Amino acid sequence: MPNIKVMLVDDHRLVRAGLKRMLLEADDLTVVAEAGSGEQALELAPISRPDVVLMDINMPGIGGLEATRRLVQRSPDCKVIVVSMYVDEPYPSQMLGAGAVGYISKDAVADEVIDAIRRVHEGRRYVASDIVGQIVVGSSDPAAEATPFDSLSQRETQIMKLLLLGQSNQAISDQLHLSPKTVSTYRYRMYEKLGIANDVELMRLAMRYGLLDDSGAISQTVHSRGGRS
């Protein structure tokens, strides 16, 4: 089992201490550095060389958003997971757009934090299901230009978001507490409504309508007008 090096970035010592205690439950995780600000994180990252960074948002100085942007630019192999009390938009979209590959709440239990770290270390993304729901309803302007995505139900839109984040059927199943078969049913129903055949075509369609930028970051423009799951 690989040893995953983790850096904790939060301006509250008690929060860092709580996260550190959580991570002690996993034999494959090691906390290699702690930072109380974004500036300190940028100073420590080249020295401690973490694989994964747990990043707060609201901190003195440059804060978590700019720290994430600079950290990802300087160390592309370093994966940033946001751990924040802010789960409503625009925070998730802003942080994911800055280069974070994970987003969980400070209320998350130890198992979820550890699972998120392992997943992003494997090259996947992890966004907690309640936060994905916030991203899905992030835009509800009735004057917005109609798109093919307006025909999707809220659940189909939620699954589409997770697919665009690179999640597998099993990962989506785990996050949304659905069976893999149910996820597949929603997935192919969504394909049928959008007139596409696979995830590659989904990504192209999402980029065409501005749901994804050139870097693959999700925008805030997608919303669902469907009332049923």
Instruction: Give the per-residue pLDDT at 21.
Output: 93
Instruction: Give the per-residue pLDDT at 220.
Output: 45
Q: CATH number of the domain at 135-208, please? A: 1.10.10.10
According to CATH, the superfamily of the domain at 4-127 is: Response regulator (3.40.50.2300)
Which sign does the torsion angle of CA 167, 168, 169, 170 carry? negative
Q: Tens place of pLDDT for every residue, the chain, 229 residues?
A: 579 999 999 999 999 999 999 999 899 999 999 999 999 999 999 999 999 999 999 988 888 999 999 999 998 899 999 999 988 877 888 888 888 999 999 988 999 999 999 999 998 888 887 777 666 544 444 444 557 777 788 888 888 888 888 888 898 988 888 899 999 999 999 898 888 888 888 888 887 777 765 555 555 444 444 444 5
Instruction: Give the per-residue pLDDT at 213.
Output: 55
Say how far apart CA 20 and CA 33 lie, in whole Å. Answer: 10
Instruction: Give the per-residue pLDDT at 121.
Output: 93
Rounded to the nearest 10 degrees, what angle do helices 180-194 and 199-208 cross at? 50
* Residue pair 120/6 in contact by the 8 Å Cβ criterion: no
Instruction: Give the per-residue pLDDT at 17.
Output: 95
For the chain, the structural domain boundaries read 4-127, 135-208
Instruction: Give the per-residue pLDDT at 140.
Output: 42
Instruction: Give the per-residue pLDDT at 4.
Output: 95
